[in-house]
Structure 1
Amino acid sequence: AGVRRGFGIDENTALLVEGTTARVCGEYGVMLVDMRHRGGLGAFRLSYLDDGDGLDLARFRPQPGAAKRRVRKREIAYRAPARSRRNVFGAYTLYDLMARLVLGDPASYTRDQAEAFDARSGINVTVELERQPRRSKGLIATPESGLRMSALDFRCSITREHLSATRLADRIGSRARTFGMTPNPEARIVLLGSSPLTAAPAMLEAPIALLGAGPVGVLAAASADPARTAAEHLALLARHGVHAIDLGVTIDNLDYVEQNHDLLEDIAGLRGILFCGGNQIRLVETLLHRGEESAVLRAIARAHAQGAVLIAASGAASALSGVMIAGGSSWEALRYGVSSDTGHRGLVIQEGIGLFSGGIVDQNLISGNRLGRLVVACAEESERFGIGVFEDSAVVASHAGSRLQATGARGFLLVEVDVTALELQSDSFVARGVRLTVLGPGDTADLATGAVTREAPAEAAAALLARLVADLAREVGTTRGASHGLRAQPHDLEGATAFLDLEFPRDESD
């Protein structure tokens, strides 16, 4: 439009203007776009002003609040790029990227980027941020309510390219993070929908068969009580004739473990690795310690490349995908969209580990009524597939997550989002033509070809699908007393596949 300055004011936030000065007030902050230096999209200035920060409008110069200060050396949290899998134009992605650079080591980590991709046009957009010496500033405040940050005069560039047919096919097909190891298409990843300590015996049949006699490493870093949790899983595996060891890795001792080369070699030689359930955020922050891949994670990737089975229970299953659901209910996801963190209402999306690339993973799908939040997560992050694992059930994945087999008591739900039928930047969340397929025990899906092969009777799968849709309707419609659109149209004669049209307003007051 030829305008050189822009103000992006976040939700629950105000920019109070008095003459030639302005002040930010509220829950979040304000983005400042400064294109006065005629660099266009190739090079412009981007700043983020937090609550309490000011702005000299005459000179367009940020004025940090009194509480803001430079990051101390011991507070540096990141030393390497995020290699983000998230949609750069998705909620909070750009903010998270700026926050990483604010808390980054200025000696080794000053630049990062993320992408957005449109499958319809074949256009890929890259947004790069750079914290420039002597010009850019990263400041923080540490009130009791949590960390606050200001990012001043970062260099930003936006580039777009039309991908060739070869690169387009490669971009559409999600790839697993191998952490420098040669991929092994036959290596299995098993996603468990419940904790193996309380699940029905049927859930463990497939993973136990893959593990054989072991040895298996147990990693309980997601648990609030890792020693007790690991011991319980060791006893469970022993009852099934599987030799297992507690790897003893937690977020508190990772720096010490990284120096234990004998343990790292032992991990790389394991027959399998079991990630216990718990808080998936804690697991990711352990293996991607301070945003960097740990030596433990590289040893795990090495073991997997050599054929080791990776088994992730409950919340840990979500952590293995590139984009991780970290919190929020279906109603919160539909009503508020993506939230910045678990302290706010909405769907919390964060970076995952990325060893599983089939799609976004959720678990406890029936009892947690999580169909809605899985659909919203896929839509908001432009992820084609979502895998919702039922309780007492498991998904056995190979070929980097593109070939899936349902096992256990019930199986899993496959969500496929039509990116051409999404409306996210409006007063309503609208997703049409979302394909829902329930796969029962023994059924398989090839995500590359779209083929579904059924071994189990379709009646049970159809009943589960009807229950999921009915539960979602009650959660987002009747119980809230609002007019919401939800329609499921059966796609096959058995009723185990359906197309879902979903509309939910986000502009009504609470």
Structure 2
Amino acid sequence: MTNIEAKGPLMIIGGAEEKDGKMQILREFARLAGGTDARIVVLTAATCEPEEVGRTYTKVFERLGVADIKIVDTRVRDNADLPNGVESIQQATGIFFSGGDQSKIIERIKGTKLDEAIRDRHEQGVVVGGTSAGAAMMPEIMIVGGDSESAPRLDLVDLGEGMGFLPGVIIDQHFAQRGRLGRLLSALISQPASLGFGIDENTALIVRGTECLVIGEGTITVVDESQSTHNNAAQALQDEQLALFDAKLHILAAGYGFNLATRQPISPQGLALNNLALVS
């Protein structure tokens, strides 16, 4: 068993979510935030183009019928202590982190009054979502960067402090598109988290309590090394390849789920049987 548990829903998106056409993922975020009555705040701390990103998400959510959309731009840390941004979060029913550079989210928001307001609203049940960098920052320990399409090595991945919305896991994004299995395995071997989620583009993991649901067009790769019997991290040098025995691997397509407490995948039939469908 594990104590991994979100408060309000989390929507963790692997990046490059569809912003025209059906827009399934952002449509579900808007629905979780209250539908046409939603009050959505988009946080652009991660991006170097906050105005453009803000306009893009404003247009998307307006198209879905959301009238109340605010952009909170914290391009310097002091902005995250300003009353206007904090008040916007306090009134929000949905909080969304854009993509970009996940380290900027930590530098510009973590430990500020804005951060405190976000955590308070999430504790009260408000949905928190993030795409790409906004997905990577969800755990306590996040992947900051590293090589893709390589075998696991200690020097393959850079780790840093995350926001901690979903503790006890590691998340990587743009997963299949950038060949990041080796990077995720390297992260899992080199730090204490024993559950990893690799999320493809235009794919999202929705978390409510200890239950998860996959939506979107790709898959989510789950690596569970909690019962692995061996790795050579203690003996390997930084540039040497890592070995790992008896880790579990699950591939979850849209409609499948995962239980964070039991560490078990759930079929669509199992979700329906246990009334665990998390979105309409």
TM-score by length of 2: 0.85
Q: Does the 8 A contact of 2:228 with 2:247 survive in 1?
A: no
Q: Name the CA distance, whole Å, in 1 between partners of 2:168 and 2:193.
A: 10
Does residue 12 of structure 2 align to residue 191 of structure 1?
yes
Shift, 1:205, TM fit: 3.9
Shift, 1:408, TM fit: 1.2
Alignment partner of 1:247: what SS?
A: strand
Alignment partner of 1:445: what SS?
A: strand
Does residue 246 of structure 2 align to residue 422 of structure 1?
no
Large movers: runs of 4+ above 6 Å: none
Structure 2 segments unaligned to the other structure (5+ residues): 270-280
> How does 1:30-429 map onto structure 2 within 5 Å?
173=2, 175=4, 184=7, 187-196=8-17, 201-211=23-33, 212-213=35-36, 214-252=38-76, 254-260=77-83, 262-288=84-110, 293-330=111-148, 334-335=152-153, 337-338=154-155, 346-399=156-209, 402-417=210-225, 418-427=227-236, 428-429=241-242
Match of 2:255 among 425, 442, 450: 442
TM-score by length of 1: 0.48
What letter is aligned with 2:121? A
Alignment partner of 1:366: what SS?
A: coil
Q: Does the 8 A contact of 2:122 with 2:128 survive in 1?
A: yes
Structure 1 segments unaligned to the other structure (5+ residues): 1-168, 177-182, 339-345, 457-510
Task: Tell me which moved more, 220-229 or 447-456.
Answer: 447-456
Q: Name the CA distance, whole Å, in 1 between partners of 2:79 and 2:101.
A: 22
Shift, 1:207, TM fit: 1.9
Alpha-carbon distance change, 234 to 197 in structure 1, aligned in 2, over 3 angstroms: farther
Q: Name the CA distance, whole Å, in 1 between partners of 2:94 and 2:253.
A: 25
Task: Tell me which moved more, 442-451 or 204-213.
Answer: 204-213
Alpha-carbon distance change, 426 to 257 in structure 1, aligned in 2, over 3 angstroms: closer
Deviations 1:140-167 (A, max 9, x none): xxxxxxxxxxxxxxxxxxxxxxxxxxxx
Choose between structure 1 and 2: higher strand proportion. Answer: 1
What letter is aligned with 1:434? A
Alpha-carbon distance change, 220 to 383 in structure 1, aligned in 2, over 3 angstroms: same
Deviations 1:10-58 (A, max 9, x none): xxxxxxxxxxxxxxxxxxxxxxxxxxxxxxxxxxxxxxxxxxxxxxxxx
Structure showing greater relative contact order (alpha-carbon pairs closer than 8 Å, 6 or more residues apart): 2
What letter is aligned with 1:309? V
Q: Name the CA distance, whole Å, in 2 between partners of 1:361 and 1:240.
A: 28
Q: Name the CA distance, whole Å, in 2 between partners of 1:197 and 1:449.
A: 32
Alpha-carbon distance change, 207 to 257 in structure 1, aligned in 2, over 3 angstroms: closer
Shift, 1:331, TM fit: 5.1
Shift, 1:248, TM fit: 2.7
Shift, 1:228, TM fit: 1.5
Larger radius of gyration: 1
> How does 1:441-480 map onto structure 2 within 5 Å?
441-455=254-268
Q: Name the CA distance, whole Å, in 2 between partners of 1:333 and 1:315.
A: 23
What letter is aligned with 1:406? V
Q: Does the 8 A contact of 1:203 with 1:409 survive in 2?
A: no
Aligned match of 2:273: none
Deviations 1:155-188 (A, max 9, x none): xxxxxxxxxxxxxx7xxx3557xxxxxx73xx10
What letter is aligned with 1:414? V
Shift, 1:249, TM fit: 2.8
User: Between the two proteins, what is the percent identity of the paired residues?
Assistant: 25
Q: Does the 8 A contact of 2:72 with 2:85 survive in 1?
A: no
